Amino acid sequence: MAKFNKIDTLSVIRSTGIVPVFYNKDAELTKKVVKACYDGGIRAFEFTNRGDGAHIVFKELIGYVRAECPEMALGAGTILDAPTAALYLQLGADFLVSPCIVEEVIALANRRGVPYSPGCGTVTEIVHAMERGCDLVKVFPAGTVGGAAFVKNVLAPLPWAMLMATGAVEPTEENLTTWANSGVTAVGMGSKLFPKELIASADRAAISALCEQCIKWFKA
């Protein structure tokens, strides 16, 4: 499948509500993790730009995803400047994510018609990001700024806002149910979804099963 357009990418993220957040310098291992998530029903995946040469891994990954996971939107996270954003967009990223608002990335993403989710921790930041054209805003660090209660309180006066909570999200029924009931559009989940023992053993079946269960909990 070719690169997703903006509307399709947002629809894909909303369809499952769970966005795995992952980085590893080993491209082959990363492919296995992404495929395991895909087999478990995940349709949006954030590969974070957190290591030297991360874009090289992403270049291999995007080709693999297009061939083996055609319904998956693959995004790039931890984007902190426009040159890095442009690099990942050139490689084919379907969406961009940052831990904070980066004005130059907003302009670039809008110009390219790609969803950009900047990290926001206040109502003012969320509204500012929405005014600048960020359709899906990342609440980060979600647990620190108030958790599910913060999201629920924000959505009371801003019911049209699309929020993705990242931080303090865990693969448990209680946690995901709490986030879902807050009204979030999606949640981003990192290390909790990928226990070190599962990664070390490359237990794809276990990762797939966990992803499938998380989606069920979130949607329920």
Tell me whether residue 188 is in a domain.
yes
Tell whether the model's pLDDT for residue 198 goes beyond 90: no
Q: Note the pLDDT tens digit of each residue in 77-111.
A: 999 999 999 999 999 999 999 999 999 999 999 99
Percent of the chain clearing pLDDT 70 (strictly above): 99
Total domains present in the chain:
1
> Is 1's pLDDT higher than 50?
no
CATH number for 133: 3.20.20.70
**Per-residue confidence (pLDDT) for residue 127, from 0 to 100:** 98
* 72 pLDDT above the threshold of 80: yes
Mean pLDDT of 1-12: 85
In a domain, 181, yes or no: yes
Is this prediction's pTM over 0.85? yes
The yes-or-no verdict on residue 204 having pLDDT over 60 is yes
In a domain, 58, yes or no: yes
In a domain, 1, yes or no: no
Q: 24-40, pLDDT tens digit by residue?
A: 999 999 999 999 999 99
Whether residue 145 is contained in a domain is answered as: yes
Examine residue 54 and state whether it is found in any structural domain, yes or no.
yes
Angle at 131 between CA 125 and CA 132, to 5 degrees: 90
CB 194 within 8 A of CB 33: yes
Q: Evaluate whether residue 210 is within a structural domain.
A: yes
pLDDT mean over 132-138: 98
Give the model confidence (pLDDT) of 161-182 as tens digits. 999 999 999 999 999 999 999 9
Tell whether the torsion through CA atoms of 119, 164, 61 and 89 is positive or negative.
negative
- Find tokens 């899906």 and name the residue: 136
pLDDT of residue 114 exceeding 90: yes
CB 117 within 8 A of CB 151: no
Q: Residues 66-75: what's their mean pLDDT?
A: 97
> Would 115 be classed as within a structural domain?
yes
Structure tokens at 17: 């509500």
Instruction: Provide mean pLDDT across the span 138-146.
Output: 97
pLDDT at 2: 55
pLDDT classification of 3: cutoffs 50, 70, 90: confident
Kindly report the average pLDDT of the chain as a whole number. Answer: 96
Q: How far is Cα 114 from Cα 124, in angstroms, rounded to an integer?
A: 23
The residue segments making up the domain with residue 67 are: 6-219
| Tokens of residue 107, six digits | 């302009």
